[in-house]
C-alpha cells in the first residue's frame, strides 16, 4: 500500500512538472525583444551579418521608450532604427579619380554604391512676387536589400507646402495631409507591413524630414513637393531664395529637441537630439546633385538679374520674362540659391495680388514707406554690433562680418555711440559701456575687431542676446542692435523668447552671414525686434551690404503702423502686428475679404497707412481695386500664402505669449488641415497599398549632406 502511494504520488508530481514545463515553453516562444540598452539582439536579414554593431535606437537621451514591443518585436515610429555602416577600405583616396565619392556597403556581397538620394530637381516660376516651386527628390536603392531613406532638408521659412506626390514607376500617388501623429502612425504601420510609403514632417519652419520606406533593391521612388511663397523685396531688388542644405547646428547642453550634427558613419543617436543630420567629411561627396530652373514673369521690364552664389544661364524670353537655369558644373547642393532682380516702374511693386475663392478674396499687398522719410534726419543712435564668433563662423564668414562692422564703425554720425559684443561659448564686450563715436574710439573698435575677439567654440546665442539687450538704455538715443551670425543654433524658440523678454525699447537688425544661413531664426529676430533682416553672402561686397543697412537706419522709420482698408471689409490681416516701415524695405501684408462682406460691386477702396515719424503722425494713401484685372494680379497660391502667414503669426506669438502657447498646436492644426498645408503639427503621408514588398522593413539609411560652403567641417561637426 505504501509503495503504491509513493508511486502514484511520484507519477502525479511528474505530471505536474510536465504540465508546468509545457506552459512555460509557450510563454517563451514569442519573438525576441529588445534589450534594455536598445541594441538589436536578432540579426537583420543577410545584410549585416558579421558587421560591427552600429545599431542604436534613435531616441532622445533621457527619454524612456513610449510603447511596449508589439507582437513581432518591432517598435513603432518613435523608436526608428537607424543603421549605417561605411566600409573605410573602399573610400577613395583624395587623389584618386572620382575622389570624394562616398560609398556605403551593407554587406560584403554588395558593390560600392552611392547613397539613396540621387538627385533633386527644382522648378520655380514667379508671377508678380509670388513663387510657385516644385521640388522633386529622386530616391533609389543601390543596395541588395530593402532600405528606408531618411533625408533632412531645408525649404524657405515661409513656404506654404501644399502638394505631395509619390511616384513609383509610372504610377503617381498623391499624398494626404494629416495630423502629425496620425500621419506618423500610418507611415509606421505601412512600413511595418511592407508597403512602400513616404512621410514628410516639419522639424522647424525651414527644416523638414523625408522618410521613404521599403525601397526595394534597384528601385527608384520620386517624391514631388510643391510650395508657394512670397519673394522678399529690399533696396530695389526682388530676391528669390532656395536653400539647399541645413547647416550644422549648435545645441546647448541638456537640450534634446534640437538638430544634431554628426559625422557620417558615426553612431545614430550620438548627438542626443531628436533630429540628426549626417555630414560628409571634406574629402567625401555623396553623388547627390541638384538642378534648378527659375521662370520669372515679372509683368514689367526686368532691368537686371544677379545670381549671388551660383553660376547660371539666363535666357531672355521677352523684356518682362526671363528664364534662369543652374549650370551643371555648379550642382552640388551646399549653398543657398539666391537670385535677385530689379524691375522697372512701380506697377508690380504696388499691385495688390488676389485670389478669389468661395470663402472670399485673399490678397497680398506690398506697402512701401513714404518717400518723405528719406528727407528726415534721424535721432542719435546707440549702435550695438553683436558678432557670432563661434566655430561655424570661422574663416570667410567671420571675415565678412568683421568687414561689414568695420565699415559701419567708420560711418557713424557724431552723437552716436557704439559697443561691440561677441559671443561663442560665452559673451564678451569691447568696453564697459557704449563709447561715443569719436575717431579715437572708432580706431579702438577697429583694433578690437581685427585682433582682440576670441573666436571658436559653441554658439551660446542666449548669452549674446542678454549682453546686447539687457543693460540700461540711453534715453537720448535709439538703441539699434545688429546681430551678425549664420544662425546655426538648434534652440530657436529659446532665443526668440529671450529676445522678446529683453527687447525693451531696442530694435534688432539681423545679418545672416554665410552661404546657408538659418533664415527662420534671422527673419524672426528682426520681426520680433521691430527691425529688418539682411543677408551677407560669402561672395557679397560686405561694405555695400552694410551701406544699404546704414541707409535704411539713417532715416527714421514709420512706427506704430496701422492700416485702414476703407470700404474693403477686410477680415484677418497678417502680420497681425505690422512692422515698422524702413526706407527701402516694404512690408507685405496679406488679408481676406470674406465673400459676403465685400462692399459694392467694384471692390475698390483707398487703403490708408498711418504711423508716427519721430513722434509726429503721418499717413499716406494707396488706391486699390480688388476685382480690377488691370490693376491687380490674380494668382493661385495667395490663399495658401495667407494661411501660412497666419500659422507663422501663431508661432511668433507662441514664443512669448503664454496664453497662446497651450492653444498654438490646435490653432495651427486647424488652419493647416483646412488649407492642406504642412506645419509642425501636420504632415504629408502617402502609401502604396497595392503590394507588399518582401522581407522586413529593411535598413534605414540617412542621406548624408555636405557642410555649407565656407563652413569648416572641423569646427562644426564633432567626430564621435
Partner 1 sequence: MDPESLPSRVVEALRASEPQPTVPPQLDAAILASARIAIRRRARSRWIIRAVVASGAAAAVVAIGFRWSTHPDRQPQVAFVREDLNRDGRVDILDAFYLARKLDAAGAPDKSQDVNGDGKVDRSDVDAIAAAAVRVSTVGGGAS
Partner 2 sequence: MRRLAPQCLLVLLVPVMLAPTRQQAPTTSPRFAYLDVFIDPRGSALAAYQFELNVDQNAATIVGVEGGEHVAFNAAPYYDPAALTYGRIIIAAFNTGSDLPTAKTRVARLHLRIASSAPEYRVSLETAADASGKKLDQAVISFDEKGNTP
Residues of the shown chain interacting with partner 2 in the complex, contacts defined by CB under 8 A: 5, 8-9, 12, 15-16, 19-20, 23, 27, 70-71, 162-163, 165-166, 170-178, 182, 186, 189-190, 193, 195, 673-676, 685-692
Nearer to partner 1, 562 or 636 (CB): 636
Q: How many residues does the chain have?
A: 720
- At what angle are helices 396-410 and 542-553 packed, to 10 degrees? 40
Nearer to partner 1, 162 or 693 (CB): 162
Report the nearest approach of partner 2 to the CB of residue 269 (Å): 27
Query: For 332-384, what is the HEC assignment?
Result: CCCCCEEEEEEECCCHHHHCEEEEEECCEEEEEEEECCCHHHHHCCCCCEEEE
- Burial of 527 (C-beta count, 10 Å sphere; 0-12/13-18/19+): buried
C-alpha 690/C-alpha 214 separation (Å) is 13
Answer yes or no: are the C-beta atoms of 219 and 231 closer than 8 Å. no
Nearer to partner 1, 209 or 354 (CB): 354
Report the nearest approach of partner 1 to the CB of residue 690 (Å): 23
Q: Smallest Cα–Cα separation from 154: which of 206, 81, 117?
A: 206
CA dist 266 to 55, 343, 424, Å?
10, 49, 25
Query: Of these partners, partner 1, partner 2, none, which one is at the site of residue 108 (CB under 5 to 8 Å by kind)?
Result: none
Give rounded-to-5 percent helix, strand, coil for the chain.
25, 35, 40
Query: Of these partners, partner 1, partner 2, none, which one is at the site of residue 193 (CB under 5 to 8 Å by kind)?
Result: partner 2
Query: Of these partners, partner 1, partner 2, none, which one is at the site of residue 165 (CB under 5 to 8 Å by kind)?
Result: partner 2
C-alpha 512/C-alpha 423 separation (Å) is 15
* Residue 3 neighbours by CB under 8 Å, 6+ apart: none
Nearer to partner 2, 8 or 317 (CB): 8
C-alpha 528/C-alpha 530 separation (Å) is 6
Report the nearest approach of partner 1 to the CB of residue 203 (Å): 29
CA dist 236 to 167, 222, 681, Å?
41, 38, 37
Query: Of these partners, partner 2, partner 1, none, which one is at the site of residue 64 (CB under 5 to 8 Å by kind)?
Result: none
CA dist 567 to 70, 356, 601, 628, Å?
61, 18, 11, 15
CA dist 118 to 105, 165, 209, 567, Å?
16, 17, 16, 54
> DSSP letters along 178-232, please?
EEHHHHHHHHHHHHHTT-EEEEEEEEETTEEEEEEEEEPTT-EEEEEEEEEEEPE
Answer yes or no: are the C-beta atoms of 659 and 108 closer than 8 Å. no
Query: Of these partners, partner 1, partner 2, none, which one is at the site of residue 635 (CB under 5 to 8 Å by kind)?
Result: partner 1
Nearer to partner 1, 132 or 510 (CB): 132
C-alpha 525/C-alpha 123 separation (Å) is 30
Query: Of these partners, partner 1, partner 2, none, which one is at the site of residue 189 (CB under 5 to 8 Å by kind)?
Result: partner 2
C-alpha 107/C-alpha 103 separation (Å) is 12
Nearer to partner 1, 354 or 699 (CB): 354
Query: Of these partners, partner 2, partner 1, none, which one is at the site of residue 15 (CB under 5 to 8 Å by kind)?
Result: partner 2
Query: Of these partners, partner 1, partner 2, none, which one is at the site of residue 27 (CB under 5 to 8 Å by kind)?
Result: partner 2
Nearer to partner 1, 351 or 481 (CB): 351
Nearer to partner 2, 513 or 677 (CB): 677
C-alpha 696/C-alpha 66 separation (Å) is 22
Nearer to partner 2, 186 or 365 (CB): 186
Residues of this chain that interact with partner 1 (CB under 8 A) are 127, 299, 354-359, 629, 632-636
Nearer to partner 1, 228 or 418 (CB): 228
Nearer to partner 2, 54 or 673 (CB): 673
Report the nearest approach of partner 2 to the CB of residue 409 (Å): 52
Query: Of these partners, partner 1, partner 2, none, which one is at the site of residue 432 (CB under 5 to 8 Å by kind)?
Result: none
Report the nearest approach of partner 1 to the CB of residue 637 (Å): 10
Q: Do strands 312-318 and 321-326 pair parallel, antiparallel, or not at all (unpaired)? A: antiparallel
Nearer to partner 1, 178 or 635 (CB): 635
Query: Of these partners, partner 1, partner 2, none, which one is at the site of residue 633 (CB under 5 to 8 Å by kind)?
Result: partner 1
Report the nearest approach of partner 2 to the CB of residue 225 (Å): 13
Report the nearest approach of partner 2 to the CB of residue 128 (Å): 25
C-alpha 249/C-alpha 684 separation (Å) is 25
Query: Of these partners, partner 1, partner 2, none, which one is at the site of residue 634 (CB under 5 to 8 Å by kind)?
Result: partner 1
Report the nearest approach of partner 2 to the CB of residue 16 (Å): 5
Query: Of these partners, partner 2, partner 1, none, which one is at the site of residue 190 (CB under 5 to 8 Å by kind)?
Result: partner 2
- With residue 41 as reference, give the H or E element that holds it: none
**Which of 450-455's residues contact partners 24+ apart within 8 Å by CB, and which partners?**
450/402, 453/387, 453/389, 453/420, 453/422, 453/428, 454/389, 454/422, 454/424, 454/428, 455/389, 455/390, 455/393, 455/394, 455/398, 455/424
Cell of 10: 511520484
Nearer to partner 1, 357 or 666 (CB): 357
Biggest alpha carbon distance in the chain?
Answer: 124
- At what angle are helices 461-469 and 492-502 packed, to 10 degrees? 10
Query: Of these partners, partner 1, partner 2, none, which one is at the site of residue 692 (CB under 5 to 8 Å by kind)?
Result: partner 2
Amino acid at each position: 500500500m505504501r509503495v503504491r502511494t509513493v508511486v502514484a504520488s511520484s507519477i502525479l508530481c511528474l505530471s505536474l512538472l510536465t504540465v508546468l514545463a509545457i506552459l512555460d515553453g509557450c510563454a517563451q516562444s514569442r519573438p525576441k525583444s529588445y534589450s534594455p540598452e536598445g541594441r538589436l539582439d536578432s540579426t537583420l536579414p543577410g545584410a549585416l551579418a558579421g558587421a560591427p554593431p552600429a545599431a542604436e535606437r534613435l531616441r532622445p537621451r533621457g527619454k524612456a521608450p513610449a510603447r511596449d514591443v508589439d507582437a513581432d518585436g518591432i517598435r513603432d515610429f518613435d523608436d526608428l532604427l537607424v543603421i549605417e555602416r561605411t566600409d573605410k577600405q573602399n573610400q577613395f583616396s583624395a587623389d584618386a579619380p572620382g575622389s570624394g565619392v562616398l560609398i556605403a556597403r551593407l554587406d560584403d556581397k554588395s558593390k560600392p554604391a552611392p547613397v539613396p538620394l540621387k538627385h533633386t530637381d527644382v522648378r520655380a516660376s514667379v508671377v508678380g512676387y509670388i513663387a510657385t516651386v516644385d521640388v522633386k527628390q529622386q530616391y533609389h536603392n543601390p543596395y541588395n536589400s530593402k532600405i528606408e531613406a531618411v533625408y533632412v532638408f531645408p525649404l524657405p521659412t515661409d513656404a506654404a507646402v501644399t502638394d505631395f506626390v509619390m511616384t513609383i514607376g509610372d504610377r503617381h500617388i498623391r499624398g494626404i495631409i494629416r495630423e502629425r501623429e496620425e500621419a506618423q502612425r500610418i507611415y509606421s504601420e505601412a512600413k511595418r507591413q511592407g508597403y512602400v510609403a513616404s512621410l514628410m514632417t516639419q522639424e522647424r519652419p525651414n527644416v523638414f524630414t523625408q522618410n521613404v520606406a521599403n525601397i526595394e533593391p534597384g528601385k527608384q521612388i520620386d517624391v514631388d513637393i510643391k510650395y508657394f511663397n512670397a519673394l522678399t523685396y529690399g533696396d530695389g531688388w526682388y530676391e528669390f531664395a532656395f536653400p539647399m542644405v541645413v547647416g550644422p547646428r549648435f545645441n546647448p547642453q541638456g537640450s534634446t529637441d534640437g538638430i544634431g550634427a554628426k559625422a557620417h558613419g558615426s553612431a545614430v543617436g550620438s548627438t542626443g537630439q531628436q533630429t540628426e543630420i549626417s555630414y560628409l567629411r571634406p574629402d567625401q561627396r555623396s553623388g547627390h546633385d541638384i538642378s534648378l530652373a527659375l521662370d520669372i514673369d515679372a509683368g514689367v521690364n526686368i532691368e537686371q538679374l544677379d545670381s549671388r552664389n551660383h553660376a547660371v544661364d539666363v535666357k531672355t524670353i521677352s523684356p518682362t520674362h526671363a528664364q534662369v537655369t543652374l549650370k551643371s558644373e555648379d550642382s552640388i547642393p551646399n549653398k543657398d540659391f539666391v537670385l535677385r532682380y530689379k524691375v522697372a516702374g512701380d506697377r508690380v511693386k504696388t499691385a495688390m495680388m488676389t485670389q478669389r475663392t468661395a470663402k472670399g478674396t485673399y490678397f497680398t499687398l506690398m506697402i512701401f514707406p513714404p518717400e518723405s522719410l528719406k528727407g528726415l534726419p534721424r535721432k542719435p543712435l546707440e549702435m550695438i554690433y553683436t558678432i557670432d564668433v563661434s566655430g561655424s563662423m570661422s574663416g570667410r564668414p567671420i571675415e565678412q562680418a568683421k568687414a561689414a562692422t568695420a565699415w559701419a564703425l567708420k560711418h557713424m554720425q557724431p552723437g552716436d555711440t557704439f559697443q561691440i559684443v561677441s559671443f561663442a561659448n560665452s559673451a564678451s564686450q569691447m568696453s564697459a559701456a557704449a563709447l561715443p563715436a569719436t575717431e579715437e574710439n572708432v580706431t579702438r573698435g577697429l583694433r578690437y575687431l581685427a585682433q582682440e575677439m576670441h573666436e571658436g567654440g559653441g554658439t551660446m546665442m542666449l548669452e549674446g542676446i542678454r549682453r546686447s539687450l539687457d543693460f540700461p538704455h540711453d534715453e537720448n538715443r535709439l538703441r539699434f542692435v545688429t546681430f551678425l551670425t549664420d544662425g546655426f543654433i538648434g534652440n530657436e524658440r529659446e532665443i526668440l523668447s529671450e529676445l522678446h523678454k529683453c527687447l525693451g525699447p531696442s530694435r534688432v537688425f539681423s545679418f545672416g552671414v554665410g552661404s546657408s544661413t538659418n533664415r527662420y531664426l534671422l527673419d524672426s529676430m528682426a520681426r520680433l525686434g521691430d527691425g529688418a533682416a539682411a543677408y551677407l553672402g560669402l561672395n557679397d561686397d560686405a561694405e555695400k551690404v552694410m551701406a544699404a543697412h546704414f541707409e535704411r537706419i539713417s532715416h527714421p522709420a514709420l512706427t506704430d503702423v496701422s492700416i485702414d482698408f476703407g470700404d474693403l471689409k477686410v477680415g484677418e490681416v497678417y502680420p497681425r502686428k505690422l512692422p515698422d516701415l524702413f526706407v527701402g524695405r516694404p512690408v507685405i501684408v496679406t488679408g481676406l475679404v470674406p465673400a459676403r462682406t465685400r462692399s459694392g460691386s467694384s471692390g475698390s477702396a483707398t487703403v490708408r497707412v498711418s504711423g508716427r515719424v519721430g513722434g509726429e503722425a503721418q499717413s499716406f494713401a494707396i488706391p486699390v481695386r480688388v476685382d480690377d484685372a488691370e490693376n491687380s494680379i490674380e494668382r493661385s497660391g495667395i490663399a495658401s500664402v495667407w494661411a501660412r502667414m497666419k500659422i507663422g503669426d501663431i508661432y511668433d506669438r507662441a514664443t512669448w505669449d503664454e496664453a497662446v502657447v497651450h492653444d498654438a498646436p490646435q490653432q495651427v492644426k486647424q488652419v493647416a488641415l483646412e488649407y492642406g498645408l504642412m506645419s509642425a503639427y501636420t504632415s504629408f503621408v502617402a502609401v502604396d497599398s497595392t503590394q507588399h514588398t518582401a522581407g522586413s522593413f529593411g535598413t534605414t539609411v540617412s542621406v548624408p549632406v555636405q557642410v555649407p560652403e565656407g563652413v569648416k567641417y572641423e569646427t562644426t561637426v564633432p567626430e564621435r
